[in-house]
Each structure stands twice: as C-alpha cells, then as structure tokens.
C-alpha cells in the first residue's frame, strides 16, 4: 500500500519534487502513525531514533529548565518536519496537541535516503532554513515584546498557519476565525509568560473588542489592524 501517493501533504512536505520511483522507495521506509492528543513522539535527550513529517494535527516542541519550567520551542503543523537528522540526540520533546497523524522514518533509513537523494536533502535544507528564520523571529518576541504584543503575535501566527495547514484540504478557513490547538497554560509556555498573565491579556483583548472568544478556544479576530499594530 502506497500512503505517499494519497498523502495530503504530498506537495508541501519535504517529499515534494521527488520522482515517482523515489516516492515509492520513501514509501517503503516510512510508515504512518496515529497520535492521540497528549501523546508524545519524541523525548528531549533521548537517542534520536526517528524523524517524521506531520500529516495532520498540531504538535508542540518543548524543553524545560532543570527545575522544570517548561518552554515550548515551536509548533509543528501539517507538512512540517520533526526530529533531528545527523545528530545522536533528540533536542526537544514532541507531543501531539490534537489527534494527529505523522509519517515516521527510522533515522538511519532516512539519513541514508537523504544522502542518496539530494533533492530530498535540498528540500530539508530549505525547510530548516525557514524554520530557523521563524525561530529567530520568536527570539525577538521573547526578548523584546511585552505580554500584550506577544499574545497578539501568537494569535496572528496561529490564524495564518491554520489556513496554510488546511487550504489544500478543501476546508478553506478564514485567518480571522480559528480554534486554538492548545490550553492557556500551553500558550503561556509558548509566550514565556504565566497562565495568569495570558488570561488577563485575553480578558483585556475581549473587553477592547479586539477578539471574540467562545468555548475558550474558538477565536474570532475582530480588529485585525489592532493586533497587527501590536505585533509589528
């Protein structure tokens, strides 16, 4: 059975651009895996045994300080790549925030394939460079923005990425209406804040009419310009 040919992220993940015969080979070394919300795929510090592509769902990448303060390093949406090729140690935890599907490879299999198929390696390089850009923008957020600016930036980013992640799946979503894939505590762990500070900022934005919130996780952006101004 060839999962790749029917794969919903086939044209966006690092396997895009591969020829049919290459895809067939890749299909042999990878396999699908379903993750329930809350289930982990990678553990920081473990030997890096596997790498993966996200097919559907959202995962969080995280580490913690030695005394247990958690920091989320990033989110992985469909077509994003997970894991650490060419290193022995996994640098972060990866945990599904929603029920998810990933396409996993044993790391040695994937590395061998990559070295033999430079087209794949090139795609992985492009993706890694983009991820580095995104991560550096997050450094600006954590280093120089206040709580309000941080939440504004996150809401805009989640809106944008929710659309990008689903647009090929025919469910055209609006970047101004989306469901948060994480709890308030997790938002705090992304933004480097406490849950109370996050909650107060949500309240403030609601009171200012900038956003609407229903059932806690359904967000409507009412005044995009205000958010963009804060995030800039």
Partner DNA sequence: CGTAACCTTGACTTTTCTCAAGTTTGGTGG
Partner DNA sequence: CCACCAAACTTGAGAAAAGTCAAGGTTACG
Q: Which residues on adjacent β-strands are paired with residue 154?
A: none
120: tokens are 């794949």
**Can you tell me the distance from the alpha carbon of 132 to that of 134, in angstroms, rounded to the nearest whole number?**
5
When asked if residue 71 is in the footprint of DNA (CB under 7 A), the reply is no
Q: Report the residue number, 80 or 95, with the smaller CB distance to DNA.
A: 95
Helix (H) or strand (E) holding 100: strand 100-106
CB of 84 vs a second copy, minimal distance in Å:
7
Q: Contacts with a second copy in 185-204 (CB under 8 A)?
A: 189, 191-192
Asked whether the beta carbons of 211 and 221 are under 8 A apart, the reply is yes
**Can you tell me the distance from the alpha carbon of 207 to that of 157, in angstroms, rounded to the nearest whole number?**
22
When asked if residue 135 is in the footprint of a second copy (CB under 8 A), the reply is yes
Interface with DNA: number of residues (CB under 7 A): 21
Q: Is 179 helix (H, G, I), strand (E, B) or coil?
A: strand
When asked if residue 214 is in the footprint of a second copy (CB under 8 A), the reply is no
When asked if residue 142 is in the footprint of a second copy (CB under 8 A), the reply is yes
When asked if residue 49 is in the footprint of a second copy (CB under 8 A), the reply is no
Q: What residue has token string 């990559």?
A: 114
Q: Is 38 helix (H, G, I), strand (E, B) or coil?
A: coil
Query: Which one of a second copy, DNA, none interacts with residue 215, CB within 5 to 8 A by kind?
Result: DNA
When asked if residue 84 is in the footprint of a second copy (CB under 8 A), the reply is yes
Q: What residue has token string 């790498």?
A: 51
**Can you tell me the distance from the alpha carbon of 55 to that of 8, in angstroms, rounded to the nearest whole number?**
7
The 159-198 site mask, x for binding DNA (CB under 7 A), equals ------------------------xxx------xxxxxxx
Q: Report the residue number, 73 or 164, with the smaller CB distance to a second copy.
A: 73
Please state the length of the chain.
Answer: 232
Out of 91, 106, 183, 200, the only residue in the binding site for a second copy (CB under 8 A) is 91
Q: How far is CA 124 from CA 27, 37, 200, in A?
A: 17, 26, 39
Closest CA to 229 of 156, 175, 173, 170: 156
**Can you tell me the distance from the alpha carbon of 54 to that of 47, in angstroms, rounded to the nearest whole number?**
20
- Binding piece for DNA, criterion CB under 7 A, among 17-25, 93-101, 118-126, 199-207: 199-207
When asked if residue 232 is in the footprint of a second copy (CB under 8 A), the reply is yes
Q: Report the residue number, 71 or 98, with the smaller CB distance to a second copy.
A: 71
Q: Which residues bind DNA (CB under 7 A)?
A: 146-148, 183-185, 192-200, 202-203, 213, 215-217
Which residues contact a second copy (rule: CB under 8 A)? 61, 63-66, 69-71, 73-74, 84-87, 91-92, 115, 118, 121-122, 124-126, 128-133, 135-140, 142-145, 189, 191-192, 232
């Amino acid at each position: 059975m060839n999962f790749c040919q029917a794969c919903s992220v086939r044209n966006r993940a690092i396997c895009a651009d591969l020829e049919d015969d290459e895809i067939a080979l890749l299909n042999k070394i990878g396999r699908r895996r379903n993750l329930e919300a809350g289930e982990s795929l990678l553990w920081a510090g473990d030997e890096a045994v596997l790498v993966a592509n996200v097919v559907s769902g959202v995962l969080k990448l995280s580490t913690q300080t030695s005394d247990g303060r958690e920091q989320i390093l990033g989110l992985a949406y469909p077509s994003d790549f997970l894991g650490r090729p060419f290193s022995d140690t996994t640098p972060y935890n990866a945990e599904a925030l929603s029920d998810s599907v990933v396409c996993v490879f044993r790391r040695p299999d994937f590395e061998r394939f990559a070295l033999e198929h430079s087209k794949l390696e090139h795609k992985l390089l492009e993706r890694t460079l983009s991820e580095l850009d995104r991560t550096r923008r997050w450094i600006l957020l954590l280093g120089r923005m206040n709580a309000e600016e941080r939440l504004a930036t996150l809401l805009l980013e989640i809106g944008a990425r929710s659309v990008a992640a689903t647009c090929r799946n025919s469910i055209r979503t609006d970047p101004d209406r989306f469901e948060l894939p994480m709890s308030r505590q997790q938002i705090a762990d992304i933004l480097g804040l406490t849950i109370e500070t996050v909650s107060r900022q949500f309240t403030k934005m609601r009171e200012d009419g900038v956003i609407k919130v229903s059932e806690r996780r359904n967000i409507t952006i009412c005044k995009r310009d205000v958010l963009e101004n804060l995030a800039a």
